[in-house]
Amino acid sequence: MCVLCGESILRIHWTDRKQPPESAFASRTRQRERLRRIRLLNQMLGYYGLKVDDWNGVKFVVRDKKGRSEIVHDLGDLWEKAEKLAGRPLNPLDSGLLDYLNRGRRE
């Protein structure tokens, strides 16, 4: 159960399960990983005119340039809602996205 929104969290997305549950890693490590994930997501989502921010350390908010936003729980949830805001499918094989990332790497 999410303490902020009361939503039942029935599933943990596989990308959030790298650390074993009994791991003694402090929440600081998790927070650092989370911020890195946001930075990486924004490098990619910029191509679609979208931006992701942290929401109280438990969720993410994805926004478009018109100010519309969606709260997302994990990456499984993100892609669907990002597509809705972008108005087109997201695909890591899309040549336009790959050109955008390659340009960003060179700059």
Write out the residues near another protein by the rule CB under 8 A.
10-15, 17-20, 33, 36-37, 40-41, 43-44, 75-76, 79-80, 89-93, 95, 97-98, 101-102, 105
Question: Is 67 or 93 the residue whose CB approaches another protein more closely?
Answer: 93
* Smallest separation (angstroms) from another protein to the CB of 33: 6
Give the Cα separation of 16 and 33 in Å (integer): 10
The phi and psi torsions of 73 (rounded to 5 degrees) equal -90, -40
Structure tokens at 19: 């650390």
Question: Is 2 or 40 the residue whose CB approaches another protein more closely?
Answer: 40
Instruction: Report the DSSP pairing between strands 59-64 and 50-55.
Output: antiparallel
State the residue for tokens 């005119």: 49
Question: Is 68 or 104 the residue whose CB approaches another protein more closely?
Answer: 104
* Smallest separation (angstroms) from another protein to the CB of 3: 19
Question: Is 28 or 67 the residue whose CB approaches another protein more closely?
Answer: 28
Please give the torsion angle defined by the CA atoms of residues 32, 54, 74 and 6, in that order, rounded to the nearest 10 degrees: 120
Structure tokens at 93: 């094989």
* Smallest separation (angstroms) from another protein to the CB of 34: 9
